Chains A and B, each alone.
Chain A
Amino acid sequence: KNQVEQSPQSLIILEGKNCTLQCNYTVSPFSNLRWYKQDTGRGPVSLTIMTFSENTKSNGRYTATLDADTKQSSLHITASQLSDSASYICVVSAYLGDDKIIFGKGTRLHILP
C-alpha cells in the first residue's frame, strides 16, 4: 500500500534550537517528494521539492534530504524562529498509471520563546 508516514506527530522546541522532522514512504514508482508548511488557518505552501537524483536541497534555514534507497526524507530547521510554528507535511508523487499524490498527516511544530 502506498503510504507516507511522518514522525514525530508533534514537537515542541525552544526558539533558536534546531530540529529534524522525518518522512518515510512506501510509494513506488517514485516521482518527487515535497515538503509543505501549513500555518494555522492557512493553506499549505511548498518549501522544497526533491527528485530521485537529489540528496539535499536547502531553502534558507530549511534543509531537506532524500535517501531514495531507504525511502526516507528529513526536513532540518536551523536556528528556529517563532514563525516556524506550523504543520509540516511530506507529500510524495508517484507514477501509478495516472499520477498520484500521497500526503503524510504532518508534524505539528511548536516553537516556544
Chain B
Amino acid sequence: DAGVIQSPRHEVTEMGQEVTLRCKPISGHNSLFWYRQTMMRGLELLIYFNNNVPIDDSGMPEDRFSAKMPNASFSTLKIQPSEPRDSAVYFCASSRDSYTGELFFGEGSRLTVL
C-alpha cells in the first residue's frame, strides 16, 4: 500500500512568494495532520483535520498560513507571503484514529525561503 505522499520534496523560493505544499493521506485514514519541524523546536502541530473538517488549527502561526482538505484524499498547506523564518521541513501525517492512533508520516517537504 502507498504511504502518505507529499509534494514537492524540496522547494526553494524567495521571500514574498506563495508556497503550496500538497499531501495525499493513506486511503481509509480519517485524520490528517500538518507538522513543521525545525532543529530548534522539533515537531510542531500546525493543523489537524478529522473527516476533512479542521478540528484544531491553534498551531497555525499566523494568517499567512492556511490549510484546506477538499476531500478525503487531498490536502494543501499554503503560505502567502512566505518569509525566511518559514524555512523548515513540513510533514503531513495521517491516522485511522485521530490523536491516539499511530501517525503515518510522509517524507516531508523541505522549504527554504531566501
Which A-B residue pairs are the 5 nearest by beta carbons?
A: A43-B105, A99-B99, A105-B42, A103-B43, A93-B100
Q: Which residues of the other chain, B, contact A45 by a CB distance below 8 angstroms? A: 105
Among B55, B99, B107, contact of A101 (Cβ-Cβ < 8 Å): B99
A32 CA / B103 CA spacing, docked (Å): 13
When A31-B100, A103-B43, A104-B42 are in contact, do A98 and B106 touch as well, CB less than 8 Å? no
Instruction: Give the size of the chain B interface in residues (CB under 8 angstroms).
Output: 19
A55 CA / B106 CA spacing, docked (Å): 30
Q: Which residues of the other chain, B, contact A32 by a CB distance below 8 angstroms? A: 100
Instruction: Tell me the A residues contacting B by CB distance below 8 Å.
Output: 31-32, 34, 36, 41-46, 49, 89, 91, 93, 98-101, 103-106
10 further interface pairs, Cβ-Cβ under 8 Å (given A31-B100, A105-B42):
A34-B102, A41-B108, A42-B107, A43-B91, A44-B103, A89-B43, A93-B100, A98-B99, A99-B100, A101-B45
